Amino acid sequence: MPIRTLLKMGDPRLLEVSRPVEPIDSLALAPLLNDMWDTMKAANGAGLAAPQIGVMRRVVIFGYQTNPRYPDAPPVPETVLINPLITPLSRIIEHDWEGCLSVPGMRGIVPRFDKIRYQGFDQYGEPIDREVSGFHARVVQHECDHLDGILYPLRIEDMRNFGYVDTLAEQGIIKLQPCDDES
């Protein structure tokens, strides 16, 4: 399957609200999902939302066993999540560094709920209902934000905690990973 071009911050499509997928047709979705997985893996991503490749539908994928961009993060199960709904399960907000394939070469500290419940459907129309925390919860919230036209820089509370990966690494603020210069 082809690796799709990733839209970058500045493209107005990334600020649009995506439409629900109705009905969920696994045969019709298969080419899109294959392209999304191939594109995400080629870019060493932890997740990808359909709008990042110009498809304005409420579809996200995420998951990996290991990820070179996040070497200390625990595995996240590979998941297709269609028409997601996120419910916070705690008032605890964690602030941590995030990057994005649509905001290449940059990182910022973003507040996210520590524990969430996410619901939706897989590519076969089967319901998904999970309660997660930590990095898994962060990835899901980040990807689902794309469906509502929100890029992570819009959530940064203190712009002093936003910058280019190489500069942040030179300052000793973050640890540079071999693939971060092309994130």
| Per-residue model confidence as pLDDT tens digits over 36-90 | 999 999 999 999 999 999 999 999 999 999 888 888 889 999 999 999 999 999 9
Contact assessment for residue 117 and residue 144, using Cβ atoms and an 8 Å cutoff = no
Instruction: Please indicate, yes or no, if residue 143 is contained in any of the structural domains.
Output: yes
The answer to the question of residue 135 being in a domain is yes
Q: Quick one: residue 93, left, alpha or beta (phi over 0 = left, psi -120 to 50 = alpha)?
A: beta
- pTM comes to 0.94
What percent of the chain shows pLDDT beyond 70? 95
Q: Does residue 143 have an active-site annotation?
A: yes
**21: in domain:** yes
Taking the C-alpha atoms of residue 11 and residue 17, their distance in angstroms, rounded to an integer, is: 13
pLDDT digit string, tens, across residues 142-176: 999 999 999 999 999 999 999 999 999 899 888 76
**Domain count within the chain:** 1
Tokens of 107: 């990182």
Q: Is residue 16 part of a domain?
A: yes
Q: Which residues pair with 111 in a beta bridge?
A: 95
183, part of any domain? no
CATH number for the domain harbouring residue 28: 3.90.45.10
Nearest to 163 by CA among 102, 101, 97, 111: 97
Residue 105 lies in a domain: no
Average pLDDT, rounded, for the chain: 94
Residue range(s) defining the domain that contains residue 20: 12-96+111-158
The catalytic position among 16, 94, 131, 143 is: 143
* Long-range contacts, 69-76 (Cβ 8 Å, 24+): 69/44, 69/45, 69/99, 69/177, 69/179, 69/180, 69/183, 70/46, 70/135, 71/177, 73/46, 73/135, 74/134, 74/135, 74/136, 76/46, 76/135, 76/136, 76/139
Query: In this structure, are residues 46 and 79 in contact, taking their beta carbons and an 8 Å threshold?
Result: no
Provide the strand spans (E) within the chain: 47-49, 59-64, 76-88, 93-100, 103-113, 115-121, 127-133, 162-164
Dmax (CA) of the chain: 49
Does some domain include residue 170? no
Place of tokens 């560094």: 97
Alpha-carbon Rg for the chain, nearest whole angstrom, is: 16
Share of the chain above pLDDT 90, in %: 87
Is residue 25 scored above 70 in pLDDT?
yes
On whether the CB atoms of residues 133 and 112 are closer than 8 A, the answer is no
pLDDT at 1: 61
Q: Check residue 180 and give its pLDDT.
A: 52
- Give a yes or no: residue 130 inside a domain: yes
| Sign of the CA dihedral running 22, 137, 110, 41 | negative
